[in-house]
Structure 1
């Protein structure tokens, strides 16, 4: 058992101060469903833990506003997934949470912490027996030429091929969500699209948060197109499994039944939540026929680069996109 100090601040400002006092070995604890796991594996060895999971200012969420949906970073995934407004008017958001992990995990996990969950790569979690540039920069990558069935086919050109594991971020990306942050230098807001980093030459740097900075809330612009949305996920089993391929789709139609606006985000197949503008262009201005949906799926993976064992995810991912487009269209025209 490794010893660490524990603090439970009463405000966000106190939490930021505690992070600064604790130094680089300090970790935030929200729901604990990721941190505890990594600590048991020895991947995370914090010298201090700052518990923000009970802060009232982070716990709530509001979907009643006319301009935006607002989610406190420590709102529980299960509670948000069951929100009546989301389920009726923004089904892709509700589905991305309801299809994640297991009921037990969703009851504990938070929507902010979910955005920052670390990779499920077995080599990353396997410890020192396996080289991993994400765990120890410069040590190499055991997945290259190894068992890479669960690894990325998009964005894997750098030093790491691990796939981003989350679902919620993928759906938020399709809705142009924004994040309110707070840190030692005060408050700032960024696009969700700017949170996750490409592995490039620094795979251990997974996000763009500054030192001592935390997510306070998530904001999603309201849109009537939300009803024509879907989160479609394919996995090895129906519960507690990460996506082999997923897609979040949001569609808007003009008065002639043609697609006026399309947003497509991919999950499970890329090193970060992945927006596919090529797939979007394939359907905007067109009637969404079966053929058009298939072409969009193929366009989404035109630049994919498979490894040794994951080439099947390219064809699977294309089919997932096509299926998601058809479902979103059915919801938008029903």
Structure 2
């Protein structure tokens, strides 16, 4: 590990936009950094460290994790915990650190889903890996069809009462279940701060499902993941599926891959390209500006494998927002393709 001491950039808050999360007092950066797939035991520590330093220097104050992020599961929290204890220790109060529990972490009936036993045990393990006394946001990562929602939300509320989380949220909940979760937390005296769903130009279920309306009514914000649809909404797919990409590797099994790459989606990508070109934007910037067009979306969650990739995503915040005419043109292109 490099011994170079980190001093955060003095102007780190100058260019980032911060948006209020629902009806809370918390603001999040318009773009947040997720450590889903790129920060684990199989990845270079110094590269991850450089990405985190650069993100904070550019005003990214929110770092999103989960118990199972890695690989292997838990590795992302351990890696971030090491960096937090050295580089970011003086800046802990300037950071929003989140984690989640819901997916498989250990064998047996108590190692996943939404029981009180699992959620609170997982949170304790996350705190230990991170080396902190509390996380700023603790999420239930996915709804549990077999556990009463009162039990899962009660565990979240108790995490706040125990001082192990400042706020709580939910992820991957459809509108009807989200409404029940928000109402249950409200009755327990602990508001639901935020919901983390997937959302992009190519996957708009949160609109048709009514989730955004539920969140607005319940006073919760939204932080959307996969705004670039696992990289499909970037210039690299304009010529088809790149050789060596995850989509290409998946397609050899007979489909177009787990990332959801198919000809219908590629047609939409190609239809969007002229709009991005007219606006002088890379396609990824157009996609990020698009998800942030809705004030109910507090933040867009991105991943980054390199500092250059991080910088490119953050550069999407430069320039103005998309105009009503731009949005109408995008809508027409998506509908026609």
- Normalising TM by the smaller chain, what interval? under 0.3
Higher normalized strand content (fraction of residues):
1
Higher normalized helix content (fraction of residues):
2
